[in-house]
Amino acid sequence: MNRRDFFLNTGAATLAATVPAAALADASASGPRRHPKVRTLNGWTLPFQMKGGVKEFHLVAEEIEHEFAPGTRAKCWGYNGSTPGPTIEVNEGDRVRILVTNRLPEHTTIHWHGIDLPSGMDGVGGLSQPHIKPGETYVYEFTLRQHGTHMYHPHADEMVQMAVGMMGLLIIHPRQAEPERIDRDYALLLHNWALHPGTWRPDPSVMTDFDLWTFNSRVFPAIDPIVARSGERVRIRIGNLSMHDHPIHMHGPRFWVTGGDGGRWPRNLWRTEVTETVAVGQTRDIEFIAQAGDWAFHCHKSHHTMNAMGHDVPNTLGVDQSGVESEIRKLLPGYMAMGETGMAEHQDHTQMGHMPGPENTLPMMMGVGPFGNLEMGGMFTVVKVRDDLKAGDYSDPGWYPHPEGTVARCISQDPDFGSPVRREPLPPGDAPMNQAKPMRHGHEGH
Ligand SMILES: [Cu+2]
């Protein structure tokens, strides 16, 4: 049995012996807390005041200046100074009162997505309540009769207000302790933004072709890592209020899909997966036993791990542009022919300052790791698991120190190396591609 199977088969038993005592001792108003506090990547949790047995929260809908990553900011709308708004973390059985003050230039409401509540508290402007006009404060009050990963967002001029960042997470812990103890509980909200290159305000009219794809309104490498100690049980809660479905993929250990909008599923409904699609308007919880290493965690739609790029450019892959570049430069000074051998050179150019992009616009690819460029942006972060972390230590442990002999390495630089079995090439056809020059090996520079 290898290490991975060992953990998958005996994870719960292993953990029982390693439960950090600090997590058990943490007490809340409704008795001893058997779960760690949810950690919203790059985000925060809204404090409340206890008033006559009711947990009272106060959300403020307002315009904010938001940073997607150093180098790109925008005028967005959010709650209490941030997008996504602060996470509301409560317990099943709690009575909550949520004040909502509108400091936007137009009316709004808040819909408590997936919450079982009186119809008049559901927050659909015009249907279940009057709109909250600029300057007004409304109050919502209900008792939580469920648990799970939920969300909140406006239900008034929804297309605009969500496109510019108005959303947040609402997480309800179950009344009963969960049978498999969670050691670390992370949460993130998926979104997309049409922040066109050189502009400062997301464009709400875009339906599919977005510039930025975000975890909690941040793009890689400005997204916090997901940190854990080997053997810990980690939950990641993922909500999606974007315009696309996102197949969220994790490298390393397989995970179980253990719940979603409906709360934690009975164990016989759990699925072992390596990718789980989180559809628009859905939430999914995944759990895994942490395994030492640096593991990529990202949306598997490859355009969703890129930042701003043109989507209607001609395909230059395999096109020899050597004669064209100087001609185009007469019309477009600084034009750089790219893409003949692929797009990887893009990050080299932007990092060397050869290709300054439009103002307020991130390069398409970013992130530098211990072995070079990661060529990623958007919905990407790293699950960093170490053997020697303290319980509750969430600080970035740096890059993984791979044990000797466990890193893929170069053994030849000769393209004719060895005698791999290859299929016979197709006989020449009539297509004009066979008259074109063959693609050159390597990168000969510009
Ligand atoms: Cu995606």
> How does pLDDT run across 262-274, given as a tens digit for each residue?
888 999 999 999 9
Question: How many angstroms separate the alpha carbon of residue 167 from the centre of ligand 1?
Answer: 18
Question: How many angstroms separate the alpha carbon of residue 244 from the centre of ligand 1?
Answer: 7
Beta-carbon contacts of residue 370 (< 8 Å; ≥ 6 apart): 399
Strand order in the sheet with 293-299: 226-229, 380-386, 293-299, 246-250, 275-278
pTM, to two decimals: 0.82
Question: How many angstroms separate the alpha carbon of residue 304 from the centre of ligand 1?
Answer: 5
Q: Mind listing the pLDDT tens digit for each residue in 209-239?
A: 899 999 999 999 999 999 999 999 999 999 9
Two structure tokens written together for 82: 């941030």
Question: How many angstroms separate the alpha carbon of residue 321 from the centre of ligand 1?
Answer: 32
Question: How many angstroms separate the alpha carbon of residue 211 from the centre of ligand 1?
Answer: 12
Two structure tokens written together for 377: 């942006």
Question: How many angstroms separate the alpha carbon of residue 144 from the centre of ligand 1?
Answer: 31
pLDDT at 153 over 80: yes
Question: How many angstroms separate the alpha carbon of residue 379 from the centre of ligand 1?
Answer: 7
Nearest by Cα to 12 from 178, 196, 229: 178
Report how far residue 416's alpha carbon sits from residue 203's, in angstroms, rounded to the nearest whole number.
Answer: 51
Residue 355 has a pLDDT of 58
Question: How many angstroms separate the alpha carbon of residue 221 from the centre of ligand 1?
Answer: 16
Residue 23 has a pLDDT of 39
Residue 203 has a pLDDT of 94
Q: Which string of DSSP letters, residue by residue, matches 48-103?
A: -EEETTEEEEEEEEEEEEEEEETTEEEEEEEETTBSSPPBEEEETT-EEEEEEEE-
Report how far residue 266's alpha carbon sits from residue 147's, in angstroms, rounded to the nearest whole number.
Answer: 13
Percent with pLDDT over 70 in the chain? 78
Mean pLDDT across the chain? 86
Question: How many angstroms separate the alpha carbon of residue 181 from the centre of ligand 1?
Answer: 30
Question: How many angstroms separate the alpha carbon of residue 43 from the centre of ligand 1?
Answer: 20
Question: How many angstroms separate the alpha carbon of residue 300 from the centre of ligand 1?
Answer: 6
Question: How many angstroms separate the alpha carbon of residue 378 from the centre of ligand 1?
Answer: 9
The domains found in the chain, sorted by start residue, are 3-303 (2.60.40.420)
Question: How many angstroms separate the alpha carbon of residue 199 from the centre of ligand 1?
Answer: 23
Task: Give me the numbers of helices (H) and strands (E) for the chain, helices first please.
Answer: 5, 26
Q: Mind listing the pLDDT tens digit for each residue in 169-225?
A: 999 999 988 888 999 999 999 999 999 888 999 999 999 889 999 999 999 999 999
- The residue count of the chain comes to 446
Question: How many angstroms separate the alpha carbon of residue 176 from the centre of ligand 1?
Answer: 34
Nearest by Cα to 275 from 293, 257, 294: 257
Question: How many angstroms separate the alpha carbon of residue 145 from the centre of ligand 1?
Answer: 32
